[in-house]
A and B are shown apart, each in its own frame.
Chain A
């Protein structure tokens, strides 16, 4: 079930809120409130497929047993239990998510046909498995008391963050879930504002960019050689699509949780305003970044073992982080490219010469945009064609309707040619410009709603503005497009 769908917004959410209000506000029962949210979350998961729900519950049940084992074990044995538990989780995700990739890679390397299991990718498996591993590791480290089964199920299935995060630690949300608040206007109001902004970003902006990006990259995979304008417009379409799609989802998740009085962490903070790659990763998918830091970068040694080792650690962390996104080598390449840029960024900092901020921003943004090509394309040939287009090697294609108007220009500038296939039109470019202004020059959702004295909470134009955003969002959900991160 998509957040940006009629069934969710007009059936599931109102029914869940009504049931929660009844038991939590009218009958003042925290336990019943928890049960309502738990049941609603299981229904939410089952609305995808029963298999997804069954896998989630199986994973939770097995990990609950591991947690029991950890709680009862002493030091040496605890490490062994933890190792088995982590191996189980990696195996679980490995079978369902990476088996095809391994089989395919083996086939290519060994030139022997290795059969691919071709299992369906369970919804949210990357998210809940990552969080389960974190719970196991933290419990082993800190010897926290064994969580109640109900609280554990509630945390992992909590529908606002179930499918695509934010990635959470059990212990940071547990206090809020244990003392679930009644519905109250002071949390309901900012929740609705956040939900409105998220819906607008997802349904209006990201879903408008989706056909442009899909059509462009599908042409690329079929062998098209894009011109300069198309290559940049196509890549920027995806750059803004994935940002508005994922940050829109995160805003909606944060907003939905706030409706029930639960505060989730910030996940995006204007990442495209970043003036360095280091800064970018402090602003993009922030909850993933902290997990990568805690469970990959630090265990690998972080920056404690010299400069070269730090660079290697960065590359490794980001490459594995890339693979976490999807079972395909292009994601590893994307992660590796970011790791390399991070290493270069650190090396540059070591030189001690700071670029002027606009120039630093231009470098960082261009690097991020180029990397999205690796993320979105499935073959090196398509990625190369796109890079060639972005560098102007394929010339500049213009739509046939502009041929007459630009005839003189075509005689002056070599490489301009008329093409009818996959050429971006002025309205598409206007849409891209609007998305650029919103992501680069406007305050972000956190600043608007959740920062102290948030801009939209100060006076009546704020909520009125959000009302219009909500209207535009609701007008755009007739053909909802799935969230990009649902595939991860």
Chain B
């Protein structure tokens, strides 16, 4: 009834044949890797190498949501924006750089990225200040972005600093890996089908899926904010002050089905406001309006507000300040 696993004989191949076949195996391995790497380099799905963009082939990039942490760091250096949107996917998907540009009269870029912890936002902001003439920044404060992300921030810092080992590893991963090969294949297919990319040129996450909100969905786990996150937030405020950046901040909303612990959130916001006040800054609260949080039309999924709501938040943030119509060429 059970098996008998036997030991097969050691080999059935003649030595001369084995040597020849081993050479074929090694040669194919090398050649196929070169072919795959060449294809990835030509398509350049992550815009890592800056390969020429050909319409219908590789002009649109589709890997921004995953690659945002690297692509956006590079892009902010290329575009040199004066106004920045900072935060996690809520900022990336709910705030539009075009609206910020209108309100400030400055070139704007959305430096928010998926799942960003506040420690990472600090690194991204610090990097942007070094490579771009930033004058204005909007920081969307999401409670879940304060769970703690010291290790992630270290990784991002290594990338921002162009640490050689990190650069080498990124180069290998984004030009020689299976992930890059699949991404390149997707890029060619989607460009051929003229599928809109997930992000626009200004870094906004535009083509996201609208996921129906289920009022009875399981609430998310509310992890308490980490001390490192408060420290990173303090550093962001300090950086803004040091570089004379007009930093405007607001605490973000989520749909009520998200199950955010409002009592913990209130304590968190109080502490953030105290830190901000020490740096002469204020934080608006866009997340405690129960009626807003109950209205499904305000959210494209239960954790992300829609861009029209984001526009209104930006407008409120810049109300009473005469910033619009400034010199866009600065």
Residues of A within 8 A of B (CB): 166, 172-173, 181, 184-190, 192-193, 196, 203-204, 222-224, 258, 261, 263-267, 278, 281-283, 286-287, 289-290, 292-293, 297, 303, 314, 342, 346, 399-401, 418-421, 446, 450-454, 457, 460, 462-468, 470-472, 474-476, 478
Contact = CB atoms under 8 A, between A and B. Distances in A.
A263 B2 contact: no
B27 A478 contact: no
B25 interface: yes
Contacts of B18: 185-186, 188-190
Contacts of A173: 7
Contact of B209 (A287, A400, A478): A400
**Interface extent on B, as a size class?**
35 or more
Given A401-B209, A474-B33, A281 B3 contact: yes
B231 interface: no
A466 to B, nearest CB: 6
B10 A258 contact: yes
Interface stretch (B89-97, B158-166, B175-183, B280-288): B175-183
A177 B5 CA distance: 19
Nearest to B212: A418
Contacts of A187: 10-11
Given A266-B5, A420-B212, A463-B22, A471 B29 contact: yes
Nearest to B25: A463
B24 A420 contact: no
Contacts of A189: 13, 18-19, 21-22, 25
Interface string B175-203: 01111010000000000000000000000
**Nearest 10 A-B pairs (CB), nearest first?**
A420-B211, A467-B28, A286-B5, A293-B2, A189-B18, A282-B3, A463-B25, A476-B178, A185-B18, A467-B29
A453 B217 contact: no
Given A400-B212, A418-B212, A460-B21, A475 B8 contact: no
A475 B24 contact: no
Nearest to B31: A467
A467 B34 CA distance: 12
A117 B9 CA distance: 46
Contacts of A188: 18, 22
Given A193-B25, A420-B301, A470-B25, A475 B212 contact: no
Interface string B40-51: 000000000000
A186 to B, nearest CB: 4
Nearest to B28: A467
Interface of B: 1-15, 18-22, 24-29, 31-33, 36, 172-173, 176-179, 181, 209-212, 214, 217-218, 301
Contacts of B179: 476, 478
A263 B29 contact: no
Contacts of B12: 190, 452-454, 457
A450 B6 CA distance: 12
Contacts of A289: 2-3, 5
A400 B300 CA distance: 11
13 contacts: A185-B19, A186-B11, A186-B15, A187-B10, A189-B22, A400-B211, A421-B214, A460-B21, A466-B28, A470-B25, A471-B33, A472-B178, A475-B33
Given A464-B24, A468-B28, 10 more contacts: A181-B10, A185-B22, A186-B13, A263-B7, A265-B5, A266-B5, A420-B212, A421-B217, A467-B25, A470-B25
B61 to A, nearest CB: 18
Contacts of A346: 1
B22 A266 contact: no
Contacts of B29: 467-468, 470-471, 474
A147 B209 CA distance: 65
Given A186-B15, A468-B28, A471-B36, A283 B3 contact: yes
A146 B145 CA distance: 62
A172 B28 contact: no
A421 B177 CA distance: 29
Contacts of A265: 5-8
Contact of B8 (A223, A266, A292, A472): A266
A297 B26 CA distance: 46
A463 B33 contact: no
A466 B205 CA distance: 41
Given A457-B13, A478-B179, A281 B2 contact: yes
B199 to A, nearest CB: 18
B3 A457 contact: no
B15 A463 contact: no
B28 A463 contact: yes
Contacts of A475: 33, 36, 176-178, 181
A222 B218 contact: yes
A286 B209 CA distance: 46
Contacts of A453: 12
Contacts of B4: 286, 290
Given A297-B2, A467-B28, A263 B218 contact: no
Given A189-B22, A282-B2, A470-B25, A446 B178 contact: no
A463 B21 contact: yes
A467 B11 contact: no
Given A185-B18, A421-B217, A478-B173, A287 B10 contact: no
Contacts of B301: 420
Nearest to B181: A475
A81 to B, nearest CB: 28
